[in-house]
Amino acid sequence: MDPFLVLLHSVSTGLSNSELADLKFLCQGRLGKRKLERVQSGVDLFSLLLEQNELDREHPELLRELLASLRREDLLRLLDDFEAGAEGRAAPEEQDFCAAFDIVCDHVGKDWRRLARQLRVSDSKIDAIEAKHPRNLVEQVRESLRVWKSAARGHATVSHLVQALRACRLNLVADLIEEDQQARSLQLQNESGGGTVSFMAWDSDVSASRASS
């Protein structure tokens, strides 16, 4: 079975009638009143969103926004588990981003606005992120990183994120990311039989980054 469809089914069964009504209201601008009138369950709603290409397994951001609006941390954890499984199938570079984002979300806290500005996320987008995720600091941090990565596209790198953290004097967070990346690089190279060379290369990059901070 498709893991994403299994996720949607699990989320649907976890919704109360009032929560489904809230989600229908939030989706009015995406689906239209007539289609929403036929929605009797979460499965119905998610099916329409899939048909309209408003939601898919590669871009579950809308699902995260909807669940965050309900403050359903239990259902958000299901989404986290799905994305963690997807990470295992993703390219190493994408896995590096996910690991770095997790560290930033765990440690940056209220300094995320300063970091976002350093990453050239506009004040208007920062305001929109705060409005989208009120009283949910972790989602504010994660959304700001997604916005930066999406806008920067090919120019977004983990090393760029580390440099921005150091520019904000968030050196502890930068160190944690570099140590994690070094360990991940070493593990990857060990699996492919070239661990020593990769370790030395990454260690050199780490030293250069810290020297410039």
Give the N- to C-terminal CA distance of the chain in Å, as an integer.
48
Q: Alpha helix (H) ranges present in 2-60?
A: 3-13, 17-26, 28-31, 33-37, 42-51
Q: What is the pTM of this model?
A: 0.53
CA dihedral (100, 103, 151, 81) in degrees, to 10, reads 90
CATH number of 3-88: 1.10.533.10
pLDDT tens digits for range 8-20: 999 999 999 999 9
Among candidates 168, 179, 173, 180, which has minimal Cα distance to 207? 179
Q: For position 212, what pLDDT does the model report? A: 55
3-88 and 92-192 share one fold: yes
Q: For position 168, what pLDDT does the model report? A: 96
Contacts of residue 157, Cβ cutoff 8 Å, sequence gap at least 6: none
DSSP H or E stretch at residue 194: none
Contacts of residue 89, Cβ cutoff 8 Å, sequence gap at least 6: none
Q: For position 91, what pLDDT does the model report? A: 63
pLDDT tens digits for range 46-95: 999 998 888 888 788 899 999 999 999 999 989 988 887 765 555 667 77
Q: For position 135, what pLDDT does the model report? A: 85
Contact 95, 184 (CB under 8 A): yes
pLDDT along the chain (213 residues), means of 10: 87 94 93 91 94 83 93 91 68 79 94 96 92 88 89 83 96 95 81 49 50 55
Q: Which CATH class is domain 92-192?
A: mainly alpha
Q: For position 1, what pLDDT does the model report? A: 67
Q: For position 171, what pLDDT does the model report? A: 96
The structural domains of the chain, with segments of one domain joined by +, span: 3-88, 92-192
Task: Report in angstroms the alpha-carbon separations of 160 from 120, 149, 155.
Answer: 12, 11, 8
The values of phi and psi at residue 28, to 5°, are -60, -40
Q: For position 149, what pLDDT does the model report? A: 87
Tokens describing residue 126:
């920062």
